[in-house]
Structure 1
Amino acid sequence: NLRQWELNEREWTIAQQLCDVLRVFADATEFFSREGEEAPTLTDVIPSMDEIDEQLATDTTDTTLDPAIRVAVGCAKRTINHYYDKTDESAAYRIAMILNPRYKLQYFTEHGWLASWVSDA
């Protein structure tokens, strides 16, 4: 009587799509879990959040994904943006980016930040 609980083709597709969509979070978790010399720093937060946000934005409009997945991705995008907004509450993130020789203000301008945001930074 277990056949009634077997996943159908659509459910397997959704499960695979969900795994694919969640990969960006798995990658971020692995990245931020590194230790030693390769351990991430404060300057890695904003670029990582930008990467996650960009991937979620792409996934929300990907018509090859099941509608249920796109709705879930939209919810995830709103949630990640809620936490991304928290970086505005601390100047430490922007200061770290600007003082980092790899980034300075160039990161913000290259990634389409509004001029007022760059000025605030």
Structure 2
Amino acid sequence: RKFKLTDHEWKVVEQPHAILKDATLSFSSSMSNLTTLIQAIDHIDKHLTTYAHDKSYLQSICSAMSLAKATPNHYYSATDSSEVYCITMVLHPCHYLPYFKTTFWEDKWIKTAEDL
């Protein structure tokens, strides 16, 4: 009984599990590639932002989601100086250049991707 979780503690455990489950499964796939990774980071960032401001989650979960954004953003920002990122997305048959517009890239970055 000493180590039995309270209902509140279970909620603290279950909320991030629900948030991170799909990302974990995606990254664990044997079909992962750079394009999938980039899209997953975009997806995770969007959802972490949403969860960080969602009042239905505990404040501790919202704070954790805000802090959790820092790690992928650190690595994702490194792609700004990587031609591999641009080439990967431009050459992917489902994305091409429209990907950069739908993800709200600056015009000069889109031009750079196009020039590559």
TM-score past 0.5 threshold: yes
1:99 maps to 2:97: no
Aligned to 2:76: 84
The answer for unaligned runs of 5 or more in structure 2 is: none
Could you give the per-residue CA deviations for residues 48-96 of structure 1, whole angstroms, max 9, x where no partner exists? 2111111111111111111111111111111110011122232111012
State the TM-score, normalizing by the size of structure 2. 0.84
Deviation, 1:27, is 2.8
C-alpha distance in structure 2 between counterparts of 1:42 and 1:8, whole Å: 41
CA contact (8 A) 1:60 1:70 kept: yes
Runs of 4+ in structure 1 displaced over 4 angstroms? none
C-alpha distance in structure 1 between counterparts of 2:40 and 2:110, whole Å: 18
How many residues get paired? 113
Deviation, 1:40, is 3.3
Higher relative contact order structure (alpha carbons within 8 Å, sequence separation ≥ 6) = 1
Deviation, 1:6, is 2.0
CA contact (8 A) 1:49 1:84 kept: yes
Report 1:1-121 matches (<5 A).
3-30=1-28, 33-34=29-30, 39-121=31-113
C-alpha distance in structure 1 between counterparts of 2:43 and 2:58, whole Å: 22
